[in-house]
Amino acid sequence: MARRSRGRPLNGWLVLDKPPGLTSTQALGAVKRVYRPAKAGHGGTLDPLATGVLPIAFGEATKTINFVLDGLKVYRFTVRWGVRTTTDDSEGEVADTTDARPDTASIEAALPGFVGEIEQVPPHYSAVKVEGERAYNLAREGEIFDLAPRVVQVHALSLIDQPDRDHARFEARCGKGTYMRSLARDLGARLGCFGHIVALRRLRVGRFDVSLAIPLDALTALSHTDDADTHILPVATALDDIPALALTEGEAHRLKLGQTIALISRQDLVRLDRLATEAPDSSAVVVAAYAGKPVALVRRDGAEIRPVRVLNL
């Protein structure tokens, strides 16, 4: 029996411009058919309705996905007023309607209440788990359940324009776990007119901007060609915002073996002091690099550096 191929040993990131109508998992599957990687995953789920930045990690880059998920996200979305749906977007069934419509002044006056650390209840049709079950599965089965509010960070929320009295377009800059569908729903409730998402585009995730993204149809056209590989970014791209510790060759070798390294000389203490300034939280993960290449994700423990994830690059 022929031995099954394990796939190509790719390491790096692809920034996909996800088209509408696909789940993030389906989009990942399409990318895997182009590259045939040994290992791949995506950094940040997008609803089927949504388009835009979907970072795809190959190989060792999958070890850095959590840093992408924790990064700043930028969305542009359109809200339809006067209609509440079961999914808080246009893919759900109409649950209620009203003739009320907000004016520009009312919308702009309401926006500051949704900026900063806010409590937000996720949509019932979301991947949040309820006693081990995904909320969207329970919702599809007609189960009655409540989701607890979560504290999320919205850095900025602005009104872009109003194409007509039924619609308004917004841009949001936010942190991990913020749902634009919940923002639309809650903003509509605050304005007394209901609201749901009819268009959603993600412009940025961490270091990955839409300017770096390639549409899926363009990528598919490059299938099985060397040109497809030119769109793969280095693993370190996702780590550009994380403080770095420069290693000696010997230290890099020990970290690759999963060993702790001690920084005790006077020169070492200078490095520790600089690192403490850049990453004052001693539990924070930093990048340990040798010759400009990341070797491991590490944590400081006093004068010791302990590996969290070793990167085999």
Q: What is the DSSP string of 31-69?
A: HHHHH-BSSEEESS---TT-EEEEEEEEGGGGGGHHHHH
Residue 110: helix, strand or coil by DSSP?
A: helix
- Give the number of other CB atoms < 10 A from CB of residue 117: 9
Q: Read off the pLDDT of each residue in 161-170 and give the average, rounded to a whole number.
A: 97
Catalytic annotation, residues: 47
| Residue 68, pLDDT score | 83
- Give the number of other CB atoms < 10 A from CB of residue 111: 17
CA distance 138 to 129: 10
Tokens, residue 196: 């749901």
pLDDT in tens, 39-77: 999 988 898 999 999 999 999 999 888 888 888 999 999
Kind plus residue range of the DSSP H or E element containing 105 = helix 104-110
Give me the percent of the chain exceeding a pLDDT of 90. Answer: 55
Tokens, residue 309: 């994830």
Q: Which domains does the chain have, with CATH numbers?
A: 12-70+207-238 (3.30.2350.10), 73-205 (3.30.2350.10), 242-310 (2.30.130.10)
C-alpha angle 131/135/138, rounded to 5°?
Answer: 90
Tokens, residue 78: 């359109």
- Give the number of other CB atoms < 10 A from CB of residue 6: 10
Give me the percent of the chain exceeding a pLDDT of 70. Answer: 92
pLDDT in tens, 232-264: 999 888 888 777 888 888 988 998 898 888 876
Q: What is the pTM of this model?
A: 0.87
Tokens, residue 98: 């009203």
**Residue (of 9, 40, 38) closest to 24 by Cα position:** 40
Q: Please, which pLDDT band fits residue 38 given cuts at 50, 70 and 90?
A: very high
Torsion, Cα of 283, 286, 289, 294 (10° steps):
120
